[in-house]
Amino acid sequence: MIITKAKLQDAPKIHELINEYAKTGILLPRSLSSIYENIRDFFVARKEDGLIGVAALHIVWEDLAEIKSLAVKSPYTGQGIGKALIKACTEEAEQIGIPKVFVLTYKVEFFKKLGFEIVEKEMLPHKIWGECINCSKFPSCDEIAMTKHIIPCNTFYDLYDTKFA
Ligand SMILES: CC(C)(COP(=O)(O)OP(=O)(O)OC[C@H]1O[C@@H](n2cnc3c(N)ncnc32)[C@H](O)[C@@H]1OP(=O)(O)O)[C@@H](O)C(=O)NCCC(=O)NCCS
């Protein structure tokens, strides 16, 4: 199994995988056009038999990105693929200089294991609720907000200052 950035040609399979879970309400559906538009957000997990997992890192604010559309194909769950996809997202966040990532999820225990902490949704900037208006769950969203600090802000800015001063 390898994790790579998605290719544009992966979009139909990504769409299929996300929307398979969306039918049961555990993921928000994504349109094919939103996947094409945001293809640079996506990581995919691949095996010889094709695409078996997906996750996206979407920048939303000066210091914040959302991890969204995390899905592992059902025969492959429980093999560390979800964890590897989240690691790819958080490593990219670190490289880009994003101090904090968040997720809206029902899989609290999974994310706790990966170092995420529950926060009040109100702690997140209002900008993130823009998309929610189009969601069938709006305004009664029961997903849990969780965040993970990637680089302590001060450390990040110290590093930045040292390198570019
Ligand atoms: C949630 C999901 C992404 C997890 O992926 P996965 O590949 O099965 O998870 P992993 O094998 O990487 O698990 C990593 C760790 O989390 C644990 N874990 C996985 N799913 C868990 C769950 N639902 N509850 C509690 N712990 C969980 C594993 O036991 C493992 O623990 P370990 O490191 O101590 O062995 C996958 O089950 C899935 O696609 N679910 C449907 C879509 C979904 O709910 N997406 C999340 C939207 S935010």
Tokens (6 digits) for 48: 């010889």
Q: Of 141, 142, 110, 104, which Cα lies nearest the Cα of 124?
A: 104
- Residue 20 CA to residue 11 CA, distance in Å, equals 14
- CATH code for the domain in which residue 123 is found: 3.40.630.30
Nearest CA to ligand 1 atom 19: 110
12 CA distance to ligand 1 centroid (A)?
A: 23
How crowded is residue 144: how many other Cβ atoms within 10 Å of its Cβ?
A: 16
Q: Tell me: the pLDDT tens digits for 46-90?
A: 999 899 999 999 999 899 999 999 999 999 999 999 999 999 999
Number of domains in the chain: 1
Strand bridging mode 100-105 / 64-72: parallel
Nearest CA to ligand 1 atom 46: 70
The amino acid present at 159, given as its one-letter code, is L
Domain ranges, residue 47: 2-164
- Residue 50 CA to residue 85 CA, distance in Å, equals 16
Task: Supply the pTM of this predicted model.
Answer: 0.92
